[in-house]
Amino acid sequence: MEWDFTLLLIGNGVLIGLMYSLIALGFVVVYKATDAINFAQGEFVMLAALISAAVIVLMEMPFWVGVVVTLLGMISFSFGLERFILRALLGRPIVAIIMATIGLAAILRGLGPLFFGAETRSITLPVGDEPIIFGPFILQPVQVTGAAVALLFLGGFTWFFLKSRMGVAMRAVADNQQVAMAMGINVERYFALAWAMAGIVSALSGIVWGAMLGVDVHVALVGLKVFPVVILGGLDSIIGAVVGGLIVGIVENLAAGYLDPLVGGGTKDFAPYVLMIIALMIRPYGIFGKRKIERV
Amino acid sequence: MFHRESGYFKTTYAADGGLYPLPIAKWTVGVLLVGFILLPTISTVVSGAVSAEYYVSVVNLILIAVVGALGLNILVGYTGQISIGHAGFMSVGAYTAANLAVKLDLPFWITLPAGGLMAAFIGVIVGIPSLRIKGLYLAIATLAAQLIIEWVINHTPAISGGSQASIEVPRPTVLGHPLKTQRELYYFLLFFAVLSIVATLNLVRSRIGRAFVAIRDQDIAAEIIGINIFRYKLTAFAISSFYAGVTGVLYTYYLGIANYENFLITTSIDYLAMIIIGGLGSVLGSILGAIFVTLLPIVIRLFMESFGTLLFSASDLNNIIPATRLGLFGLLIIVFLVVEPEGLNRLWRNIRNYFRVWPFSY
């Protein structure tokens, strides 16, 4: 039955991987359009989970109200962030933006429990909790929902960037801001749009991950998985986020299944980073990333 | 601040790059040094022996932070390479020294450089990718280093000493006399803090320091004028993580215990906050930032303990204090980045420039 176990691990890895891709998507869209790096992506997810838990559990609203409020909350939060902090840092070295988002992450981690309380709350998705058994696979409905949402958004974003007018404009902004401006594209508006998209993605990942892990500050830790995903896949590629997410999900599940008994646990958080270091050494721009050539 | 500089003209590069900008600065430094040596005595006279012990212990924390902040500033402020994994290097130093001190019974003057060298070695390994990658990629690579170092220490009983991953270390002994009180530790730490300040001041005005700044400002241009980027980037990583390792060792001796929980990623962010708030690429800024960031949680705690009970219950307060501290750090990082990117150092210079010609400003 050795193969069944492997298949089970891979199946769960695929689902988790797609959920990682959903988070990574927020990172990639922002990087693609605005060149800004969001080290607070995990904290975005945490904030979304906290908001949804506050609405659904504390205020006892129906589930869909929670989703709508979370979406609106995260969109306005990302707008505000772009408008008041990141716009002030335009043209500054990349280290400044990284540090600003690290600062933001610290604020969210500090103030989150201050406003929402430190205890863990559970939100339940309206999908039941009977595991779906399908051949060798035992799938949790929460994870299946998460993976489905992820696939939906990955497809939607791909369509958006390839076919829609706004998506093409956003790619133009990403490619060259000055030329885009000259062609009559309102660059600032597209920056805001990119952040809003990151807000939407974070809101949904927050609800899905919150439902899976329980809502407290530790949800932010999934943000640490975003970096292996985007580095492996390529920072500015949506398909890269999917592939990177799948690789990370499968690798960490296999590591947890086979290596954990040997070294005593914790390889799940460790293996993706080793993989990432190797990727940084060999192909730092990722599998699908764009290679940048630098000149003085 | 303490003296006027009119009438002094620098006519050679050597004079311009001198350690003391003016001859009188030697006196200022001397006065400061005497002040620091007398500090424990003064605080004992002013506030009594018991609270003086507490105040000196706070100053000790600042002295440790100064060493770490200087090291990180060499890497981030002067060379322009970001590191989010500095606490990892500190834990490397801390555990190296703790193991040497406990298992081989070595004195501090061996364990301290050994901890620093081990951290420098690990730092160089982490720094090797910095030739190919920079900015964001380097940030992520150092973050990975932090997590991997944490994991390895936590999962290797040979390093971490088994239970709770903590090792108790004996007090450092100077001339056969163990340093037990905070006051004795103060002189021990003051020595290393002053040593690292002087070393950094000399480093940044030397050939190596100027090469660092050239790499920070434009690395490709620096390579064209003949600076070996790979070597200098690795040197920066080595020096910076040496400082970090020494910081880890000093902190271990200060606490009497090596524990990886003192060197988590939040510590890395604390040190980044120090150099950003203090001022990137400035020695004085590192010192000011270390003072500010070390005192901030203590002030918050004092404030909360005095006034917090009016608003919150005592059990809530225990959660609120660390949360406020983290949030305030984040806020300060962002405010300084947006409003005053050159940090406290710049504010200090503004004040000094104002008084330079005061009261005749024209």
Please write down the HEC assignment for all residues of A28-54. HHHHHHHCCCCCCHHHHHHHHHHHHHH
Mean pLDDT of A44-64: 84
Cβ–Cβ gap B330/A114 under 8 Å: no
pLDDT for residue B118: 92
Amino acid at B219: D
Give the minimum alpha-carbon distance from B148 to chain A in angstroms, rounded to a whole number: 7
Task: Provide the CB-side half-sphere exposure for B282 (13 A, CA).
Answer: 22
Please name every residue paired with A132 in a beta bridge, in sequence order, or none if there are none.
Answer: A139
Write down the pLDDT at residue B10. 75
**Mutation for testing the A interface, residue in B136, B138, B260, B328 having most A CBs under 10 Å:** B136
Question: For residue A24, what is the enclosing H or E element?
Answer: helix A2-34
Residue A238 backbone phi and psi in degrees, to 5: -70, -40
Contact in structure between B73 and B280 (CB atoms under 8 Å): yes
With a cut of 50, say whether residue A150 has pLDDT above it: yes
A-B C-beta contacts closer than 8 Å:
129
ipTM: 0.80
Query: Where do runs of H (alpha helix) occur along chain B?
Result: 13-16, 25-47, 49-73, 86-103, 108-127, 136-155, 157-160, 182-204, 207-217, 219-224, 229-255, 265-278, 283-307, 314-339, 343-356
Angle, helices B283-307/B314-339, rounded to nearest 10 degrees? 150
Q: Measured between beta carbons, which residues in chain A are less than 8 angstroms from residue B327?
A: 106-107, 109-111, 114
Q: Tell me which residue in B155, B276, B328 faces A99 most closely, judged by beta carbons.
A: B276
CB A188 within 8 A of CB A88: no
Q: Which DSSP helix (H) or strand (E) runs through B279?
A: none
Collect the ranges in chain B with pLDDT lower than 50.
1
- Say if the Cβ atoms of A227 and B148 lie within 8 Å: no
Q: Which residues of A touch B271 (CB under 8 A)?
A: none
- pTM, 2 dp: 0.85
Q: Which residue has the higher pLDDT, A268 or A272?
A: A272
Q: How far apart are alpha carbons B320 and B314 in whole angstroms?
A: 10
> What is d(CA B244, CA B320) in angstroms, rounded to the nearest whole number?
30
In angstroms, what CA-CA distances link A251 with A218, A270, B100, B360?
22, 10, 37, 70
Side-chain-side CA neighbours of B202 within 13 Å: the count stands at: 6
The structure tokens listed for A210 are: 């919150």
For residue A109, give the amino acid letter: R
Coil, strand or helix at A137: strand
Query: What pLDDT does residue B35 have?
Result: 82
pLDDT at B1: 47
The predicted structure's pLDDT at residue A293 = 57
Residue B135 in tokens: 């900015």
User: Helices in B156-228 by DSSP H: which ranges?
Assistant: 157-160, 182-204, 207-217, 219-224
The beta-carbon neighbor of A105 closest among B144, B218, B330 is B330
Q: Whose structure tokens read 């730490």?
A: B189
Is A69 in CB contact (< 8 Å) with chain B?
no
Average pLDDT on A65-77 reads 88
Chain B residues whose beta carbon lies within 8 Å of the beta carbon of residue A120:
none
Contact list, B136 vs chain A (CB under 8 Å)? 37, 94, 98, 235
pLDDT of residue B344: 87
Return the number of other C-beta atoms located less than 10 Å from residue B30's C-beta.
Answer: 10
By CA distance, what is A38's nearest residue in B?
B136
* pLDDT given for residue A68 in this prediction: 87
Instruction: Report the SS3 class of residue B166.
Output: strand
Closest approach of chain B CAs to the CA of A289, in angstroms? 13
What is the rounded radius of gyration, in angstroms, for the C-alpha atoms of chain B? 21
d(CA A156, CA A163): 10
Whole-angstrom Cα distance, residue B252 to residue B167? 9
For A79, A159, A161, the CA distances from A167, given in Å and listed in that order, are 18, 8, 4
The confidence score (pLDDT) of residue B348 equals: 85
